[in-house]
Amino acid sequence: MLDYIKKSLLTGVGLALRSKSEIEELAKEFAEQSKMNQGEAKQFLNECQQKYEDAKEGLDKKIEAAIEKILVKLDLPSRSDIKRLNQRIDKLTEKIAENKKE
């Protein structure tokens, strides 16, 4: 039963949507109510923090992928596309300046 509750608390998306302080508070409250010793409580808190970071990172990657898809569908240039175009413009400007000197 305790493992089931721990797994429920550590569920991915729900965990990622909570703030880090909320997760720590939930973990502390859970540890107190389940009468964990100090070592178990600390380990549980560390697990919660790691799961939070993993879930947050996974959610961030999903959001980035969704945004990238939207940009492709809208046919908008990415930051790297714009950077590449700026580099080409700089090179062409240099060549024009060199040709004017000659």
Residue 39: what pLDDT?
76
Give the pLDDT confidence score for residue 73 in this predicted structure. 83
φ, ψ of residue 53 to 5 degrees: the values are: -60, -45
Q: From first to last of the 102 residues of the chain, give the pLDDT tens digit.
A: 345 445 555 555 455 556 667 767 767 777 676 776 777 777 877 887 787 788 778 878 888 888 878 877 888 888 888 999 999 999 999 999 998 887
Give the domain ranges of the chain.
Answer: 2-76
The pLDDT, as a whole number, for residue 1 is: 39
Tell me, what's the pLDDT at 19?
67
Task: State the DSSP code for 18.
Answer: S
